[in-house]
Amino acid sequence: MPHTGLQARTQTRTAQLAAQLRRVRETTIALAAPLSAEDQQVQSMLLASPTKWHLAHTTWFFETFVLAEYATGYRPFDPEYHYLFNSYYESLGERYPRPDRGLMTRPTLEDVRRYRRHVDDALDALLAHGVDETVHRLVTLGCHHEQQHQELILTDVKHLLGLNPLAPVYAPARPAPSGVPHTPGWVTIAGGVREIGFQGPGFCFDNEQPRHKAWLDEFRLATAAVTNRDWLAFMADSGYGTPTLWLSDGWQTVQNERWQAPLHWRRIDGEWREFTLAGLRPLDAEAPVVHVSYYEADAFARWAGKRLPTEAEWEVAAAGLPSEGNLLESGALHPRPATGAGLVQMFGDVWEWTQSPYTAYPGFRPSDGALGEYNGKFMANQIVLRGGSCATPESHIRAEYRNFFPPSARWQFTGLRLADDL
Q: Residues 3-24: pLDDT tens digits?
A: 566 566 778 899 999 999 999 9
What are the residues whose beta carbons fall under 8 Å from the beta carbon of 269, sequence distance 6 or more?
none
**Mean pLDDT on 223-240:** 98
- Phi–psi pair at 310, nearest 5 degrees: -75, 165
pLDDT tens sequence across 86-138 = 999 999 999 999 999 999 999 999 999 999 999 999 999 999 988 999 999 99
What are the residues whose beta carbons fall under 8 Å from the beta carbon of 277, sequence distance 6 or more?
154, 157, 158, 161, 169, 170, 171, 333, 334
**Alpha carbon distance 34, 109 (integer Å):** 14
pLDDT tens sequence across 353-378 = 999 999 999 999 988 889 989 999 99
Kindly report the CA angle at 11 between 10 and 12, in degrees rounded to 5?
A: 90
Predicted confidence (pLDDT) at residue 192 exceeds the cutoff of 90? yes
Max Cα separation, the chain? 77
> Model-level pTM?
0.96
Was domain 186-421 assigned CATH 3.90.1580.10?
yes
Predicted confidence (pLDDT) at residue 410 exceeds the cutoff of 70? yes
Q: Are 287 and 227 in contact (CB under 8 A)?
A: yes
pLDDT tens sequence across 74-87 = 999 999 999 999 99
pLDDT tens sequence across 323-339 = 999 999 999 999 999 99
Return the higher-pLDDT residue of 366 and 295. Answer: 295
Confidence of residue 1 (pLDDT cuts 50, 70, 90): very low
**Alpha carbon distance 375, 367 (integer Å):** 9
**Mean pLDDT on 173-192:** 95
Q: Indicate the residue type of 150.
A: Q
- DSSP letter at 29 equals H
**Alpha carbon distance 99, 96 (integer Å):** 9
**Alpha carbon distance 6, 104 (integer Å):** 48
Q: Is the peptide bond before 165 cis (omega within 30 degrees of 0)?
A: no
Which residue, among 264, 401, 265, 413, has the nearest Cα to 326 in the 3D structure?
413
Count of all residues that appear for the chain in the document:
422
